[in-house]
């Protein structure tokens, strides 16, 4: 793999940012450079679609505009405010991160990459995203979209993780760091994400309309024509399964019922829920308790974690 030359990297970044200035997605959470609000948005975006995050982010940051506001609230309040996003463990982790920010960093989100990674629920990608977007540091936050875009530009492979042309994560990270615009790292990050989401799609890339096509090994190798391996591959179709039959659905329904209780309210789960037997419900309750999403009393009742 040979990354673009310095001259090409400068030209590529300029083309990418020019495209973003005209075509970039206008998302509510991008209007704020506040480190806490950026951190909240990145945690929400980890496993949730952008459209759902926009609404939830406005609501959540309105309720908890600072780390202190969340840290002094109960975990139950955090989980209630997380409604509609799923993967509720992220709310618990964000509450723990807010507490750590208060205890270790005087209430301010740290601007150090290692310190960010040390916060609960914050991995390398999220730490880099906050560093670039909130603090203007030229480090690349490599998500699925950026991994695909950079992989195609520098190596020409079909999509992220293509087993035919594997590309080490460290190589993608190094190439991304080399390509980021040091003057506009936040916009470069958003732009690369948007290119991956709207133009450089996994199986239907629009190379003809991509601002990076001049420097892209993938576009050159395909001569602006779709590559056969990008077409849908014949495969044995899995049996259709209902989301209502999954443990994720069950966990969500349990948390939804507990959200409706006041802080001092308790509930028992002694009956089946949907297609899930009482045994599966009990197992889900135990798992949620282990994850810190609820607490149990000696009588077998449960509630969202109390403030104390």
Q: Sort 127 into a burial class: Cβ within 10 Å, 0-12 / 13-18 / 19+.
A: buried
Does residue 161 surpass a pLDDT of 50? Answer: no
Give the pLDDT confidence of 116-156 residue by residue, as tens digits.
999 998 999 999 999 999 999 999 998 888 988 998 888 87
159: confidence class by pLDDT, cuts 50, 70, 90: very low
- Cα 108 vs. chain centroid, distance in angstroms? 22
pLDDT at 67: 97
pLDDT at 224: 46
Does residue 162 surpass a pLDDT of 70? Answer: no
For the ranges 33-37, 72-76, 82-86, the one whose mean pLDDT is highest: 33-37
Residue 242 to residue 35: CA distance in whole angstroms: 39
168 vs 231 pLDDT, higher one: 168
Give the pLDDT confidence of 237-285 residue by residue, as tens digits.
555 557 777 887 788 888 888 888 877 788 888 888 888 888 888 888 8
pLDDT at 230: 47
**Which entry of 42, 117, 260, 295 is annotated as an active-site residue?**
42
> Domains in the chain, please, with CATH?
6-24+140-184+191-227 (1.10.1670.10), 28-135 (1.10.340.30), 244-303 (1.10.10.10)
Does residue 80 surpass a pLDDT of 50? Answer: yes
Give the pLDDT confidence of 4-55 residue by residue, as tens digits.
666 777 889 999 999 999 998 888 888 888 999 999 999 999 878 888 888 8
Average pLDDT along the chain: 84
Does residue 302 surpass a pLDDT of 50? Answer: yes
126 vs 1 pLDDT, higher one: 126
pLDDT at 50: 86
pLDDT at 157: 63
pLDDT at 2: 58
163 vs 104 pLDDT, higher one: 104
Tell me the average pLDDT across 172-201.
91
- Pairing mode, strands 302-303 and 295-296: antiparallel
End-to-end CA gap in the chain: 54
Does residue 94 surpass a pLDDT of 90? Answer: yes
pTM: 0.78
Of residues 262, 235, 251, 234, the one with CA closest to residue 287: 251
pLDDT at 1: 52
Tell me the average pLDDT across 151-177.
71
Task: Give, as one character, the DSSP assignment of residue 121.
Answer: T
pLDDT at 259: 80
Task: Tell me the C-alpha to C-alpha distance, in Å, between residue 133 and each of 2, 23, 262.
Answer: 27, 19, 37
pLDDT at 36: 97
Give the pLDDT confidence of 204-248 residue by residue, as tens digits.
888 888 999 988 888 887 654 544 444 444 455 555 557 777 887
pLDDT at 250: 84
pLDDT at 235: 53
Q: Sort 106 into a burial class: Cβ within 10 Å, 0-12 / 13-18 / 19+.
A: exposed
Q: Sort 163 into a burial class: Cβ within 10 Å, 0-12 / 13-18 / 19+.
A: exposed
Has 42 been annotated as catalytic?
Answer: yes
Does residue 164 surpass a pLDDT of 50? Answer: no
Residue 255 to residue 303: CA distance in whole angstroms: 9
- Cα 167 vs. chain centroid, distance in angstroms? 22
């Amino acid at each position: 793999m040979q990354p673009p030359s310095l001259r090409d990297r400068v030209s590529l970044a300029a083309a990418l940012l020019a495209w973003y200035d005209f075509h970039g997605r206008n998302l509510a959470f991008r209007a704020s450079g506040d480190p806490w609000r950026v951190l909240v948005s990145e945690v929400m975006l980890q496993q949730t679609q952008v459209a759902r995050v926009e609404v939830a982010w406005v609501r959540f940051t309105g309720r908890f505009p600072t780390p202190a506001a969340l840290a002094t609230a109960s975990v139950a309040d955090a989980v209630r405010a997380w409604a509609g996003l799923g993967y509720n463990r992220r709310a618990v982790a964000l509450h723990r991160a807010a507490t750590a920010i208060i205890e270790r960093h005087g209430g301010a989100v740290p601007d150090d990459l290692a310190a960010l990674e040390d916060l609960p629920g914050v991995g390398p990608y999220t730490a880099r995203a906050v560093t670039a977007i909130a603090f203007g540091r030229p480090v690349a936050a490599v998500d699925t979209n950026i991994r695909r875009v950079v992989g195609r530009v520098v190596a020409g492979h079909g999509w992220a993780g293509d087993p035919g042309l594997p590309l080490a994560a460290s190589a993608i990270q190094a190439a991304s760091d080399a390509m980021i615009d040091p003057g506009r790292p936040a916009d470069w990050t958003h732009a690369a994400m948007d290119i991956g989401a709207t133009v450089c799609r996994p199986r239907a890339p629009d190379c003809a309309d991509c601002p990076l096509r001049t420097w892209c090994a993938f576009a050159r190798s395909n001569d602006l024509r779709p590559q056969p391996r990008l077409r849908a591959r014949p495969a044995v179709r899995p049996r259709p399964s209902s989301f209502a039959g999954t443990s994720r659905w069950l966990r969500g329904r349990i948390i939804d019922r507990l959200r409706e209780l006041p802080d001092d309210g308790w509930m028992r789960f002694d009956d089946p829920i949907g297609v899930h037997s009482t045994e599966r419900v009990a197992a889900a309750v135990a798992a949620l308790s282990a994850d810190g999403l609820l607490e149990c009393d000696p009588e077998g009742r449960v509630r969202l974690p109390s403030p104390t």
